[in-house]
């Protein structure tokens, strides 16, 4: 604030008054400092641009996400192909085991049928006093027929050749038993084969047991032998028809 002279009464007055306090002369307040007048400030719109770092993070995140999806589907495809390959291997291995069990049962069943046929022949010739080059050493070891067919059968089953045959059949039974145990969990699509191989095993077991331990009378033994051989061959052929070709491993 400064002192000025009133143009009317020439007295000193403040430059801030609007009229002279002495004479009342009016003033226009032209002396107000420009600095006291508030200035309008125009605010222009400012566009905030995303930083380069933010853009890089978004790009890297997108790339990582795509990579994860690619990796997921690659792993999924790999696992599916591996599972398919494992199935094919298991499928083919099961077929190998089926055929092995089938052939070993055929070998043991044939041996059992041969022994049953010889047993029936010795049994009959001992009853009817029939001479035969194959059975004479059992039915008439002393150049005369035995008094009872049981003696002839005892001669047959104590013969070293027969003892060896019985031992071979029992060994065959143990081998087949293990193979059947290994076949208890068939791969998908081979369930019917498992049902049939167990059916074949049942008829095989009946035939081989009959060869090892003949029982009944001559007629019942002969009938039982014929039925068991027939059942065995029927199941064998049924299984042969059911076993599919192996899968081509990728």
In a domain, 58, yes or no: no
The confidence score (pLDDT) of residue 10 equals: 82
In a domain, 60, yes or no: no
Average pLDDT over residues 225-250: 94
What span, in angstroms and rounded, lies between the C-alpha atoms of 101 and 181? 11
The confidence score (pLDDT) of residue 112 equals: 98
Expressed as residue numbers, the domain containing 163 is 91-242
In a domain, 24, yes or no: no
The confidence score (pLDDT) of residue 15 equals: 77
Rounded to 10 deg, the angle between the 149-158 and 160-182 helix axes is 70
Kindly report whether the global pTM for this prediction surpasses the value 0.85: no
In a domain, 26, yes or no: no
Check if the beta carbon of residue 220 is closer than 8 Å to that of residue 210. no
In a domain, 7, yes or no: no
User: How long is the chain?
Assistant: 250
Average pLDDT, the chain: 85
Between these two residues, 68 and 96, which has the higher pLDDT value? 96
In a domain, 80, yes or no: no
* pLDDT at residue 31 is higher than 50: no
| Of 147, 114, 118, the residue nearest 135 (C-alpha) | 118
Relative to beta strand 12-14, strand 3-5 is: antiparallel
Average pLDDT over residues 42-50: 55
State how many domains the chain has. 1
In a domain, 192, yes or no: yes
The confidence score (pLDDT) of residue 248 equals: 85
Kindly state the DSSP code that residue 144 receives in the 8-state scheme.
S
Percent of the chain, pLDDT > 90?
A: 64
Backbone angles phi, psi at 137, to 5 degrees: -70, -10
* pLDDT at residue 39 is higher than 60: no
The alpha-helical segments, DSSP class H, found in 183-216 are 191-212
In a domain, 28, yes or no: no
Q: Produce one character per residue of 108-141: b if its CB has 16 or more CB atoms within 10 Å, e if not.
A: bbebbbebbebbbbbbbbbeeeeeeeebeebbbe
The confidence score (pLDDT) of residue 14 equals: 77
The tens digit of pLDDT for each residue in 110-158 reads 999 999 999 999 999 999 999 999 999 999 998 899 999 999 999 999 9
């Amino acid at each position: 604030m400064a002192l000025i002279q009133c143009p009317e009464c020439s007295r000193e007055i403040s430059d801030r008054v609007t009229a002279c306090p002495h004479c009342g002369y009016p003033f226009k307040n032209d002396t107000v400092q420009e600095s006291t007048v508030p200035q309008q400030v125009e605010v222009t719109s400012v566009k905030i641009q995303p930083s380069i770092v933010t853009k890089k993070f978004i790009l890297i995140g997108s790339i990582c996400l795509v990579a994860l999806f690619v990796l997921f589907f690659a792993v999924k495809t790999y696992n599916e192909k591996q599972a398919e390959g494992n199935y094919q291997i298991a499928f083919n291995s099961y077929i190998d085991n089926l055929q092995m069990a089938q052939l070993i049962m055929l070998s043991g069943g044939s041996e059992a049928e041969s022994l049953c046929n010889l047993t029936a022949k010795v049994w009959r010739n001992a009853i009817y006093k029939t001479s035969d080059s194959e059975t004479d050493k059992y039915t008439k070891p002393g150049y005369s027929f035995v008094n009872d067919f049981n003696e002839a059968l005892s001669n047959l089953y104590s013969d070293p050749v027969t003892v060896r045959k019985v031992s071979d059949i029992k060994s065959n039974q143990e081998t087949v038993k293990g193979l059947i145990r290994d076949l208890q969990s068939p791969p998908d699509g081979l369930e019917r084969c498992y049902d049939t191989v167990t059916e074949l095993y049942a008829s095989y077991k009946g035939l081989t047991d009959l060869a090892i331990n003949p029982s009944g009378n001559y007629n019942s033994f002969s009938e039982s032998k014929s039925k068991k051989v027939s059942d065995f061959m029927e199941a064998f052929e049924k299984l042969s028809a059911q076993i599919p070709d192996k899968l081509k491993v990728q």
